[in-house]
Amino acid sequence: MKYDGHVHSLFCPHGSPDLFEEYIGKAIELGIEEISFTEHAPLPDGFFDPTPEKDSGMDSDQLHAYIEQLHSLKTSYRSQIKINIGLEVDFIEGFEAQTKKFLDETGPLLDDSILSVHFIKEKDKWHCLDFSAEMFGEISRQIGSVEAVHERYYSTVKKSIHADLGDYKPVRIGHITLVHKFQKQFPISISFDERVIVLLDDIHRKNYALDYNGAGATKPLCGEPYPPERFIRHAVQLGIPLVYGSDAHQAKDLGQGYESLRHTHLLTSPMQNVYNNKS
Ligand SMILES: [Zn+2]
Ligand SMILES: [Zn+2]
C-alpha cells in the first residue's frame, strides 16, 4: 500500500503509547509513501462523552503539541515519507456551531481531516456507537431496537454530509458503516443497504471522498471493512475517491485489513481532493 489516510497516535487517550517515530518507522517498512495522522479532535465544550473513561477525543490542551510535533517530524522525514497533519473530527448532532468554530480555527493548521460519526443522539442523550458490544446492546435497548440504532446512525451520517461546518469541513467521510462493528452479535432483520447507497450518492454530489477503512475487517464481530465490497462497488461506479485507512491505534496495526480490500489499484492519496470545498 502506498497511502494510509487514517492513523491515530500517542495523543489518543484510548490508544497506545507508541511514539510517532514507531508509526513512521513501521509505515516506511511497509512501503507507505504518504501517511495522515488523524487523531480524534478534542470534543466540543459542553459535550458529555458517554464512554466510561470519557476518553473519546484528544485533550484540547494537547492539540498544539500534537500539531507542533508532527510539524517537525514532517521535516525530518521529508526524504523518506510524506506526513500529513490531520484530525478525525466528530460530527455530533447539536454541536455543529462549536464544530464549525473549531474547524475555522484549527483547519488552517491541518493538511488533512476526516469527518466521522461515533455518537448518536436520542432524545437529549448521546450514545457512543463503537465503544463495546455491551454498550451497543445497551443502546439498542434504550433506543428500542438494533434496527433503530442503524436508522439513527445513518440519519446522523446524512446530517454530517450536509452540515455547514465552514470552509475547513473535512471532505472525507470516515468509516461509513461503523454501525456494523458488532453486527455478528447484533444482526438486523431489515436491510439498510439502500440508505448507504443514498449516502454514497450524496458524497458523490458533494465531491467528497471515502475513508476505506480496514479496521472493521480485523474486528471479529464485524468481519468486513468499512464499508464492505457491495458499497465500494457503487462508490467506484460513481468515481468517489477511496482513501485507505488502517485506523491504527498502535504502530503494529498499520496496514490492518488492507488484504481484505478490493479495487486497491484505485486507492488514492489522502490529499487528492482535500479541502476541495474551499473557494
Ligand atoms: Zn480511536
Ligand atoms: Zn473513527
**Interval between CA 130 and ligand 1 midpoint (Å):** 9
Residue-level pLDDT at 140: 98
Taking the centre of ligand 1 as the mean of its atom positions, its distance from the CA of residue 249, in whole angstroms, is 7
DSSP 248: B
Rounded distance from Cα 112 to ligand 2 centre (Å): 15
| Preceding amide of 228 cis, omega within 30 | no
Q: Which ligand is nearest to the CA of 15?
A: 1
Q: Where are the domains of the chain?
A: 3-266
- From ligand 1's centre to the CA of 88, what distance in Å? 9
Mean pLDDT by 10 residues, the chain (279 residues): 97 96 98 98 96 96 98 98 98 98 97 98 95 98 97 98 97 98 98 98 97 98 98 97 98 98 94 56
Residue 88 Cα to ligand 2 midpoint, Å, equals 7
State the pLDDT at residue 275: 52
Which H or E run contains 133?
A: helix 133-143
DSSP class of residue 210? E
- On whether the 3-266 domain is CATH 3.20.20.140, my answer is yes
Distance 71 CA to ligand 2 centre (A): 23
- Ligand nearest the Cα atom of residue 250: 1
The CA 163 to ligand 1 mean position distance, Å, reads 23
Quote the CA–CA distance of 245 and 234 in Å, as a whole number.
19
Supply the pLDDT for residue 105. Answer: 97
- Expressed in angstroms and rounded, the spacing between residue 40 Cα and the centre of ligand 2 is 8
Neighbours of ion ligand 2 (CB under 5 A): 116
Ligand nearest the Cα of residue 114 is 2
Tell me the Ramachandran region of residue 79: left when phi exceeds 0, alpha when psi lies from -120 to 50, beta otherwise: alpha
* Amino acid (1-letter code) at residue 66: Y
**256 neighbors 226 (Cβ within 8 angstroms):** no
Separation of 52 CA from ligand 1 center, angstroms?
14
Q: How far is residue 46 from each of residues 64, 162, 196, measured CA to CA in Å? A: 21, 23, 31
CA 279–ligand 1 middle distance (angstroms): 31
Residue 279: the pLDDT is: 36
pLDDT score, position 273: 63
Task: Please give the pLDDT value at position 129.
Answer: 97
